Amino acid sequence: MGIWGTPETWTRRLENEFLDAANQAAGFEVSGRSDEAGKVWDRTADLKNRIITNNPDRAFNLGIRLTMSNLPIDIVDDSDDSKIRMWNLGTGLDLVADKRLSSQFKDFIEKSEGSKLLDILNSCVNFELKVPDDFYGLSDHPECYATAISMLIVLQNEQQGIIEVDRLAQTARLRLREPEIIKLIDHYSKISDTQKLAVRLQGYSS
């Protein structure tokens, strides 16, 4: 079995490390320690890549579990717990958004439980955002990331025969022209751990 035990033990350890890192990063964001959060987000991204490489199906299921376990979506509640929940929901959606998991996304959406994910994406894509003028203020607005990553999910999965996704993708394309969304993407283009997301969204707005 080796020093790490069985493959199952190693996989669970990797997933737990990812969840712990994501929760720590969310805590740093909420407490205003964005520089420290950025370092932990980099660690989370590395763990995400390892999880996907190790087992794409489990990686997708982990993203779904993390997303579903942080409901309800409530950006009116200004409590730290609500913000941490929203950050973790965004982390779950970030896993779901990975292009390597596109086939898992399509299979999941076509099942009965896919309707709940569609409801979440619909809520996030249609959030009315008030984006701070300074990108450092984004630490206090996790709903911004949930919106941006949800827009990416529907845009990169459109034209696959899923009517609801295509409809949300049309909404996302329209929103990419909104001043607040343009400002948000500009902010993300200046932050190391969100630059790739900004570039991909900019590609859909051109």
Q: What is the pLDDT of residue 158?
A: 93
Q: What is the pLDDT of residue 1?
A: 42
Q: Over pLDDT 70: what percentage of the chain?
A: 94
Domain carrying residue 79: 7-205
Structurally, how many domains does the chain consist of?
1
Whether 1 maps to a domain, the answer reads: no
First-to-last alpha carbon distance for the chain, in angstroms, is: 51
Kindly state the tokens that stand for 37.
């959060």
Looking at per-residue confidence, does 2 or 70 come out higher?
70
Asked if residue 47 has pLDDT above 80, the reply is: yes
Whether 93 maps to a domain, the answer reads: yes
pLDDT level of residue 87 (50, 70, 90 thresholds): very high
Whether 41 maps to a domain, the answer reads: yes
Whether 180 maps to a domain, the answer reads: yes
Long-range contacts at 113-118 (CB < 8 A, ≥ 24 apart): 116/68, 117/64, 117/67, 118/164, 118/165, 118/168
pLDDT level of residue 173 (50, 70, 90 thresholds): very high
Query: By mean pLDDT, which of 2-11, 113-122, 149-158, 193-202 is the weakest?
Result: 2-11
Per the CB < 8 A criterion, the answer to whether 129 and 180 are in contact is: yes
Whether 2 maps to a domain, the answer reads: no
Kindly state the tokens that stand for 139.
């630490």
Closest residue by Cα to residue 64 from 153, 127, 195, 139: 153
pLDDT level of residue 28 (50, 70, 90 thresholds): very high
Rounded average pLDDT over 27-34: 89
Rounded average pLDDT over 175-202: 93
Largest CA distance in the chain: 55
pLDDT level of residue 74 (50, 70, 90 thresholds): low
Looking at per-residue confidence, does 34 or 206 come out higher?
34
Most confident stretch, 85-89, 94-98, 128-132: 94-98
Whether 27 maps to a domain, the answer reads: yes
Q: What is the pLDDT of residue 137?
A: 80
pTM (two decimals): 0.91
Whether 197 maps to a domain, the answer reads: yes
